[in-house]
Structure 1
Amino acid sequence: MRETTQTQNTLRSEARIAHGALHRLRQDLFVDAFAFRPMPPLEDAKVSRWVPWLPERIRHWARWLPHFIVGFFSVLVFLAAFTLSHGTGPVRGILVAGFALLVAAGPAVTLFRPVGAYWISLFAVVLDWFATVAFSSYGGSPFGGAAFPTHLAVMTLVVLRTRPRLAVEMWLVTFAVAAALTAFTGGDAGDLPPVAVFCGMVLISAAAVRAWREERRQVVETLTATAEERSRRTLLEERATIARELHDVVAHHMSVIAIQAEAAPYRVENTPPELATSFATIRENAVAALTELRRILGVVRSEDPDAFVETDPEAPQPTLASLDSLLNSVRSAGLTVEAVITGAPRPLPQGVELSAYRIVQEALSNALRHSPGADARVEISYVLGGLGLRIVNGTPSRLAKPSPGAGHGVLGMRERVQMLGGEMTADHTEDGGFEVAAFIPVANAAGETMAGGSTA
């Protein structure tokens, strides 16, 4: 009884597998067999990588190279089928030309309707088979036997254009039809097995190429998405770092506003109640803003509890006045650096000072990391309307160690400059070094003086 149940379960499983295979065969080869599926042109990146020496206008047309190759192959098939055919008389000539056109249509149609091209090519094979049987007494088929080799080429193109499993499905249908025709016409089936094996090998190879291409495409998409996600995450981390650093700047100014609003009524005798109330409201709003700033800082604070171990969290944020200590630090690390300041140094808004210091710090760190043994030069220009920065290093004297975070420092510098409405460039120099140039605008001299006074 148990063996009978197991046998029934096995039969049901096999029936389900067979039903699923037939369903996939029907969906792939019969449902919407002549649906319009045009082959897209090659991507510009691939064309530029394969033929970078071609002019740009010709490279644009090179995107359609696979279409030109298939079209040229169809022309060759038509000429071959027409040449191999034989027969006399206008009727036979028309039949030969029509058959040659039918055979050549298979490869061409694969560009637009790949599954439909398979059925057209299979119909040409069946037609050639019946012609061979019908004219066996007159020397064989008048069509020359070009249909089946072309059919194999069409199946290969269809597999390369669609999905690998169509290789098995088209092979089964083709040789099932061939076996049925052989049995129906009473022909010799001796050549059928080796031909089936050879075609199977060709189609399996095409399916492997198609699977490899699809896997490669998915890997490229995954790597691209990973790189974009890593860049986005790095950008968010840099913005969080900038927000933490600017918190002290904004909190300082808000504290000054609160203190001045609290002290203002005591500097004036007989202060009107309305004015005292206004100052009290200003102080309350300033204190509330400070509370919100601390709350925001808690949101963007690093998840690492030891993020501020190396620095004193209560220490003031660095400015360009601390540049000498930074230069001495990198010099002690082995970097020869020269600093040049042009223009009249003047106090700038604290956010500008902090961002300028961080940009110089990051650029010198990159020089130490990526250009060991090179000299560096820091140029700070106090110009009308803003602050100019230029940090350039020469060619490294020895090989740099690989750095997993390459490019993230430049991303952070660019984010700081863009936050302040400035512009920045970072690129290799002609002599093999690297240059970072930035301009941070400052609104006007009056605003700078006010900002400098509040900072002091």
Structure 2
Amino acid sequence: MSTAPPPPDQAPRTPDEGSGRAGPRHMSGTPGHGLRSARDRLAAAGSALTVAVGGDRSEPLLAQAPKRWMRLLPYVVALGFVAVLIPVTTQVLSHDYGVGGGLAGAIGVAQAAPLLLAVSRPLTAWYITIVAVVLGTIPVLQGDAHHPSPWTPMVVVGYVVLCIALALRESRRTLVGIWLVTVVVSIVLGLFRDGTSQDTGVLLIVLSGGVLLLGALLRERGETQRKLVEQETISEAERTRRTLLEERARIARELHDVVAHHMSVITVQADSAPYRLPGLSGPTREEFESIAAGARESLTEMRRLLAVLRSEDTQGDLAPQPGLAHLRQLVEATIRGGVPAELSYPELTLVGQLADVPPAVDLSAYRIVQEALANVVRHAPGARTQISVGLDDDALLVIVVNGPAGEPASPIESTGTGHGLVGMRERVRLVGGTLDVGPLPDGGFRVAARIPLTEPDSPTA
């Protein structure tokens, strides 16, 4: 019996762990951290963009972006503005404001070049720019009075671009200080402006204030979303860890119930051996008494452990644990739930070979089939399901395959806690087995477990 994984072009996706969903009609996929719903992908994309834009203030803008072209984009944009503003500023100052060619070129470079520094050090770039634009205003105010002043159109454009970089990096307090300096400088320089020229001071005040405010709001909103996604990730990890611990405790309780029965038999047999086997020598009787005492001590220690592991709502749960012999009843209950399921034992008889399966393997196999059928009922109602149990050399094979859902899943079951396969994987791991799960090309899903019949630490395991 083969347990080969799906074809390469149908490799299992990363479904919702444990909820039993690998898609609209699938059961669960990878454990706990495998959430891949549309909402999670959008949240992850938004978080990545926020980290890339915000990032560490010592890093360039978009330094943490996932793609190289995104990391280079701020430099390309800044270089484009610099390449346009320097010649335009030189040309306008020379022809419209009457500034000398050399001085006009120097002013253009001083006012536009800091935009390259703004990619990584926007505040430093602002210090340089504010000094350059103030000094560059002096020849502008002395030039033709009919042109816009105190700020040239190129200064307004470059300053607004710089404000965008500032808003994406600096704190709200710093942005308020920058805007207040802009207001004061614009008002003071506006006093020296000729009344016949167009006032650009108010324009710069309004544009810079609007850009700084909008950028700060967007950045703070992005940071809030990023922190929310981080908190959700931490909460999901904690839920996965808690579920794993609860499942381990449950497995320990069940194994206690299985092992306690055999220990009790050993105790009874050791105590009754002197009466059932007459003529035993003294050392032999002492050996049996030692075996009985050790078994009773082990039972006492197991009961103490059980008292710690059992929660308040399970202290009265002392029913015998199910096994492969109960699979028929489990399948019949699933069929009554509306899932056409079929159980088969290829080349085996339940009373024969499977009757000697170790208790831990017996219980684990039953729980795997139980969880797989529960996932079918929840997430693929009406899907035809095939349960196959057999032996492969020294291992037990359990395969549960379901087809596409025969009817829409209930809205209540459309989402899960993300832990449906945690118990399966933990059980298989504890007994030294392997678990293979994944979607099928026809829209169904498969769960295949291979559990060794020998101890995991034995040479034949």
AA paired with 1:241? R
Partner of 2:446: 435
SS at match of 2:345: strand
Higher relative CO (Cα under 8 Å, sequence separation at least 6) belongs to 2
Displacement over 6 Å in runs of 4+: 137-141
Structure 2 Cα separation of the partners of residues 116 and 233 of structure 1? 49
Match of 1:298 in 2: 307
Partner residue of 1:6?
none
Alignment partner of 2:400 out of 368, 391, 400: 391
Across the two proteins, how many residue pairs are aligned to each other? Answer: 389
Q: Residues 12-50 of structure 1: CA distance to partner in whole angstroms, max 9, x if unpaired?
A: xxxxxxxxxxxxxxxxxxxxxxx8443353443xxxxxx
Unaligned segments of structure 1, at least 5 residues: 1-34, 45-58, 448-456
Structure 2 partner of 1:75:
83
2: distance between equivalents of 1:331 and 1:232? Answer: 33
| Deviation, structure 1 residue 164 | 3.6
Q: SS of the counterpart of 1:240? A: helix
Distance 2:377 2:175 in 1: 57
In 2, are the aligned partners of 1:373 and 1:398 still within 8 Å (CA)? yes
Counterpart CA distance in 2 for 1:435 and 1:369 is 15
Which of 216, 223, 233 is matched with 1:224 structurally? Answer: 233
The whole-number CA distance in structure 2 between the counterparts of 1:192 and 1:140 is 9
| Distance across 2 between alignment mates of 1:140 and 1:195 | 12
Q: Aligned AA for 2:427?
A: R
Is 2:286 the partner of 1:271?
Answer: no
Q: For residue 233 of structure 2, give the secondary structure of its aligned residue in structure 1.
A: helix
In structure 2, the partner of 1:323 is 327
Q: Are residues 1:408 and 2:430 paired?
A: no
Q: Does 1:41 align with 2:60?
A: no
Amino acid at match of 1:409: G
- Counterpart of 1:418 in structure 2: which amino acid? R
Contact 1:128 / 1:147 at 8 angstroms: preserved in 2? no
Partner SS, residue 409 of structure 1: coil
* Cα deviation, residue 431, structure 1: 1.4
Secondary structure at the aligned position of 2:168 is classed as helix
Alpha-carbon distance between aligned partners in 2 of 1:368 and 1:361, rounded to the nearest angstrom: 11
Alignment match, 2:174: 166
The amino acid of 2:433's aligned partner reads: G
How far the C-alpha of 1:397 sits from its partner, in A, is 2.2
Match of 1:151 among 159, 181, 185: 159
1:377 aligns with 2:392: no
Q: State the TM-score, normalized to the length of structure 1.
A: 0.75
Contact 1:42 1:64 in 2 (8 A): no
Cα deviation digits, residues 60-94 of structure 1 (max 9, x gap):
5445434433443443334443444427xxx9555
Mapped partners of 1:244, 1:79: distance in 2:
80
Alignment of 1:130-149 (within 5 A): 130-135=138-143, 146-149=154-157
Cα contact 2:385–2:402 (8 A) shared by 1? yes
Matches of 1:166 and 1:436, distance apart in 2: 58
Q: Which moved more, 1:191-200 or 1:405-414?
A: 191-200
Structure-2 change in CA distance of 1:283 and 1:99 (3 Å):
farther
Stretches of structure 2 lacking an aligned partner (at least 5 in a row) = 1-56
Determine which of 180, 189, 212 is the counterpart of 1:203: 212
Name the structure 2 match of 1:22: none
Distance (whole Å) between structure 2 residues aligned to residue 358 and residue 290 of structure 1: 25
What are the Cα deviations for residues 384-421 of structure 1, in whole angstroms up to 9, with x where unaligned? 02011111111112211132535422221122111212
- Deviation per CA, 1:169-202, whole angstroms, max 9, x where unpaired? 210122223334445x576696534542333222
Q: Once structures 1 and 2 are overlaid, which stretch shifts more, 72-81 or 323-332? A: 72-81
Higher normalized helix content (fraction of residues): 1
Measured in 2, the distance between the counterparts of 1:350 and 1:43 equals 53
Displacement, 1:351?
A: 0.5
Q: Which moved more, 1:289-298 or 1:356-365?
A: 289-298
Residue 102 of structure 1: which of 89, 104, 110 is its match? 110
Does structure 1 retain, via aligned residues, the 8 Å contact 2:186–2:202? no
Distance verdict in 2 for CA 1:241–1:270, change over 3 Å: closer
User: How big is the alpha-carbon RMSD for the aligned residues of Structure 1 and Structure 2?
Assistant: 3.3
Asked if the contact 1:376/1:391 (under 8 Å) is kept, the reply is yes
Q: 1:336 aligns with which of 337, 340, 344?
A: 340
Aligned pair in 2 of structure 1 residues 72, 381: CA closer, same or farther (>3 Å)? Answer: farther
Counterpart CA distance in 2 for 1:145 and 1:107 is 16
